[in-house]
Structure 1
Amino acid sequence: MGDLRIAVTADRVEVILDRPEARNAISRGMAAELHAVCADLETDPRILIIAGSTDVFASGADIAELRDRTADDALAGINSRVFDRIAKLPMPVIAAIDGWALGGGAELAYAADIRIAGEGLKIGNPETGLGIIAAAGATWRLPAIVGPALAAELLLTGRTLDAAEALAAGLVSRVVPSPELLAAAHEIADRIARNDPLATRLTKAVLAAPRAAHPAIDDQTQALLFSSPEKHRRMTEFLNRKKTP
């Protein structure tokens, strides 16, 4: 049995991190399984929902493995490569995070486009206390999400945020009761799935573009969509609905 539970439908893939004996710590094997999920979604783009089993998202990287990793392992970017691949997936990624989301678990959440939290969330990066840095995306993704001042405090002190603090900081977009978390993630996916997939994919791409690429990339992308039959169909449908008494 693998470290992920995967459910696939026509418009989305649900991935549950499932190493309860290790509090869903991210192992080399789990990273390999996440690469396989990415390979599938790069070929057949769908929304991705990532959550943790039980009441923990991911307690971090697997410390038992991490202790014995070498400089060569660090240069291989075992976690950073797969998290970057997740961030670059064509369709949106939703992280439903609850309980502990620490270290590599937090960095996996930072790679998502949308993060929602259960009320029990505790998220942070305690890596410096273990003699390492948060090297799987936190040093550059977290400042972009919460701002450089708070990111520096969190990364340098190892302080964790609870759900209310994460919401106030903009690290998550909503907090829901823990039993409702996965359903809330699917509600967000439902809203995304009702929209035009091409427009959704291109919106994600434009959001990720550097500031210097704007506004040219917006105009070029809009020109492509203005030529899309789906744009004409959806706008015609909208106008017909307005005419209906």
Structure 2
Amino acid sequence: MSQYSETRFETLEVEWREDRVVVELHRPEARNAINAEMIAELHQVCARIEAAPKPLLLTGHGTVFAGGADISELRERGREEALAGINSRLFERLHRLQAPTVAAVDGFALGGGAELSYACDIRIATPTAVFAQPEPGLGIIAGAGACWRLKELVGTSVAKQVLIGGFKLDAEAALRHGLVAEIVPSETLRERAHGLIDRMAASSAMALRMTKMVLDADGVHPLADDLTQAVLFESADKHDRMTRFLERKKR
């Protein structure tokens, strides 16, 4: 048995196969919200894939991909945490993995959850998938890649509609704008995602690696995200908005 298969995570379910890694975001009590512990565990997964590159399938537990970042943690973060790029550095690391990555999205992919899916190479979705960036309503920007990755994926106009106008992209809109490759029934989502990875596995691993390297050669540095977020994380408005959000959840 691989040493990796023996590792237990608190926020992830991870399956280490010979030809791929399957990661399920697993915080059912919080709609798979991304917290610091999940970020740390995803860094461990990335480190292992970097050491032995193989395709990654990323999905969420149940009928939600990820309901955003953990607001209770975000509310307490300040300038230093923003400059550290806690989420953005992980998503950039995921994006830079040498082997292909596939996000299988069922249900909500909100805030940081949407940004996590944007960091993957290809996304497939179910009819209930919804991508949205509610961060400005909480007094911050979508600071883990959406402000530049989403524009690259769907174009400036649609990105502004989502990031500034507060529009949501349902599955049909996401397909129309090229954010997802296809829409499949929820019950066959993982099967279709594995089928996509099977198709990749039939190609030369080195050719796919080099193709991805060339495609991603002119990526945008996330420094601007971190600097902007550092200013907003220190604002009273951000703290007040997140407090109101958490109080509404308790009702």
Match of 2:201 in 1: 193
Extract unaligned runs of 5+ from structure 1.
212-245
Q: Deviations over 1:106-152 (max 9, x none)?
A: 00000000000011101110100111000000011000000001101
Instruction: Kindly indicate whether structure 1 or structure 2 has the higher relative contact order, using CA contacts under 8 Å at least 6 residues apart.
Output: 2
Structure 1 Cα separation of the partners of residues 173 and 150 of structure 2: 14
What TM-score does the superposition give when structure 1 sets the normalisation length?
A: 0.85
Amino acid at match of 2:111: G
Extract unaligned runs of 5+ from structure 2.
1-8, 220-251
Match of 1:58 in 2: 66
> Relative to 1, partners in 2 of residues 1:206 and 1:69: Cα closer, same or farther, differing over 3 Å?
same
What TM-score does the superposition give when structure 2 sets the normalisation length?
A: 0.83
Shift of 1:200: 1.0
Kindly report the root-mean-square deviation, in angstroms, between the aligned alpha carbons of the 2 structures.
1.0
Q: Deviations over 1:158-203 (max 9, x none)?
A: 2211101110011101000111111111000000011111111111
On the 8 A contact 1:17/1:53 being kept in 2, the answer is yes
Match of 2:23 in 1: 15
Q: For 2:164, what is the secondary structure of its paired residue?
A: helix
4+ residue stretches of structure 1 with deviation over 2 A?
none
Amino acid at match of 1:39: A
Q: Give the counterpart of 1:76 among 81, 84, 98.
A: 84
Count the aligned residue pairs: 211
Q: For 2:18, what is the secondary structure of its paired residue?
A: coil
- What pairs up with 1:154-169 in 2 under 5 angstroms? 154-169=162-177
- What pairs up with 1:1-245 in 2 under 5 angstroms? 2-210=10-218
Structure 1 Cα separation of the partners of residues 194 and 135 of structure 2: 32
On the 8 A contact 1:94/1:114 being kept in 2, the answer is yes
Structure 1 Cα separation of the partners of residues 31 and 200 of structure 2: 30
